[in-house]
Amino acid sequence: MEPIRRVTVSTVDVLKVMLGGSDPVWGLLIIKETQRPAGTIYPILERLERQSWITSEWEDDPARTGPRRRLYRFTAEGATAARAICASYEARNRDSAPASAGKLATS
């Protein structure tokens, strides 16, 4: 597995959606859940797969005819790395968040 050189917010969103469940996730559902354009999500999925963070497979649903859906799941290493990235991202957001307004106790 190769490290991600540039972790964007969109990438973090994709990782979060995929970490949300244990089953393989449909690509279109990731687009829907992240609320980001398909032109942003498709390249991220392709890059993650190229770097062995995720794998993909065709949906095997005999009830559905026509073109098959593509389902994505993490590799074992990918899931671990994704959790680390999401945790790091959350921690950084907490650190950079503005302090809540309050009174300073001096005595």
Q: Which residues contact another protein by CB under 8 A?
A: 2, 5, 27-29, 31-32, 37-43, 46-47, 50-51, 58, 66-70
CA 64 to chain CA centroid, nearest Å: 27
Q: Which is nearer to another protein, 32 or 92 (CB)?
A: 32
Q: Which is nearer to another protein, 70 or 73 (CB)?
A: 70
Task: With CA atoms as reference, report the closest residue to 86 among 32, 13, 6, 4.
Answer: 13
User: Is 34 within 8 Å of 15 (Cβ atoms)?
Assistant: no
Q: Which is nearer to another protein, 53 or 74 (CB)?
A: 53
Nearest distance, CB of residue 48 and another protein, angstroms:
11
User: In whole angstroms, what is the distance from residue 22 CA to residue 75 CA?
Assistant: 12
